Amino acid sequence: MAFAGGGLNSPSARDTAPGPRFFVFAVLSILLMYFDQRDGWSQRIRYVLQGAAYPVQVAVGSPRLLWNSTVDLFSTRATLRRENTELKARERELSLTAMRFAALEQENARLRGLANGLPPLVKRSQLADVVSADLSSQRQRLVIDQGDRAGLYRSQAIVDATGLVGQLVRVGPWSAEVMLISDPGHAVPVEILRNGVRTVAEGTGNEDEMRLSLLPATADVKAGDTLVTSGLGGVFPAGIPVGTVVEAVRDPDDILARVRVRPRASLARDRQVMALWFNPESPMAPVDSALVRELPEAPLARPVLEPPSPVAKVTKP
């Protein structure tokens, strides 16, 4: 190392003056951050780095996988049998529901005046194993073991058996990163199943909690309400279960209701998730975001949250 530097003085010079080197790296970091904010070639760098990072992610996640498979190995005959009967019961229930669903779908198509039934919403799905999870207060992400090679794409919807999990934010060659619906930077357009009231469910940085922050205090919402995706926003289709309202607090001093929601999907405990491809012909499919971009600017509804204007003062004598 010392010889590579050249003269005898160079190591000690490097020792005493790390300033210029720090300056170079600091500038490099800031440039990286600047370009990472914009889409472009930094996406390509990410893609390569994500591919390089995948083996380490697998290694890091392997103790948990090993533990899980060990537990599976030693699960007794009795537990397996119990699980089997439970699953069979559930299967019967589901097939009954599916039958009813098929009838409803046909009726729906008839009401819409379509001769042959509606095209199915989900065109294709792909199971993926969760390789690692990052569940902190600033970031709620999963890494899954399928990526670009399996055809996954950015902002794809990810679900599990019970409900919405999140969307893909980065896709590497063999892996992809899921932003969970509980990520503090994530918001899902939802509607209350009971009455169709539309709002937005935001993540809080806690995988067991979300909140509805844009509901006025007068909105009809109560504990136990089920929330499903509303299909607005162009990422998720309509009707995927998102969560259940745990608590709705109305503060008389506040114009907004404080509503806490528990996500339906078991975000922190999922071992497998599913990526979905939607049939664009289905009326439930998310609106193509390219189409949204062609629309004229501004008609998107924004909640008006201005403080009450001081009209009362004027009427004073």
Partner 1 sequence: MIITGSRESPLLVYITALIALMLTLMPLPRSLGVLWPNLLVLVIIYWSMMMPRAGGILIGFLGGLAIDVFVGSQLGQHALALSLLCYLGIRLHLLVRAKPLFEQALFVLAALLIYEGVLWAIDGFSNQSTGTWTRWLHSFTGAAIWPLVAGLLGRLHSPR
Q: Which of 8, 28, 89, 295 binds partner 1 (CB under 8 A)?
A: 28
Whether the CB-CB separation of 277 and 124 falls below 8 Å is answered with yes
Q: Which of 40, 117, 151, 185 binds partner 1 (CB under 8 A)?
A: 185
Q: Which of 6, 7, 63, 307 binds partner 1 (CB under 8 A)?
A: 63
Q: Minimal CA–CA distance to 209: which of 186, 232, 239, 235?
A: 186
CB nearer to partner 1: give 133 or 285.
Answer: 133
By CB under 8 A, residue 40 contacts partner 1: no
By CB under 8 A, residue 26 contacts partner 1: yes
Whether the CB-CB separation of 168 and 178 falls below 8 Å is answered with yes
By CB under 8 A, residue 234 contacts partner 1: no
By CB under 8 A, residue 307 contacts partner 1: no
Interface mask toward partner 1 for 108-147; x: CB under 8 A = ------------------------xxxxxxxx-x------
Amino acid at 125: S
Q: Least distance in Å: CB of 98 to partner 1?
A: 35
By CB under 8 A, residue 256 contacts partner 1: no
d(CA 261, CA 249): 12
Phi/psi at 177 (5° precision): -110, 125
Burial code (b: 16+ CB inside 10 Å, e: under 16) for 208-231 equals eebbbbbbeeebebeeebbbbbbb
Total residues contacting partner 1 by CB under 8 A comes to 52
Residues 6+ away with beta carbon under 8 Å from 27 = none
By CB under 8 A, residue 49 contacts partner 1: yes
CB nearer to partner 1: give 42 or 126.
Answer: 42
Whether the CB-CB separation of 62 and 145 falls below 8 Å is answered with no
d(CA 232, CA 7): 66
CB nearer to partner 1: give 133 or 214.
Answer: 133
CB nearer to partner 1: give 154 or 194.
Answer: 154
CB nearer to partner 1: give 15 or 297.
Answer: 15
d(CA 42, CA 34): 10
CB nearer to partner 1: give 8 or 99.
Answer: 8
Q: Which of 8, 60, 102, 127 binds partner 1 (CB under 8 A)?
A: 60
By CB under 8 A, residue 14 contacts partner 1: yes
By CB under 8 A, residue 30 contacts partner 1: yes
d(CA 204, CA 156): 21
* Burial of 169 per CB tally in 10 Å (0-12, 13-18, 19+): middle
d(CA 281, CA 298): 27
Binding site for partner 1 (CB under 8 A): 1-3, 11, 14-15, 18-19, 21-22, 25-26, 28-33, 35-37, 42, 45-46, 49-50, 52-53, 56-57, 59-61, 63-64, 132-139, 141, 169-170, 177, 184-185, 205, 207, 268
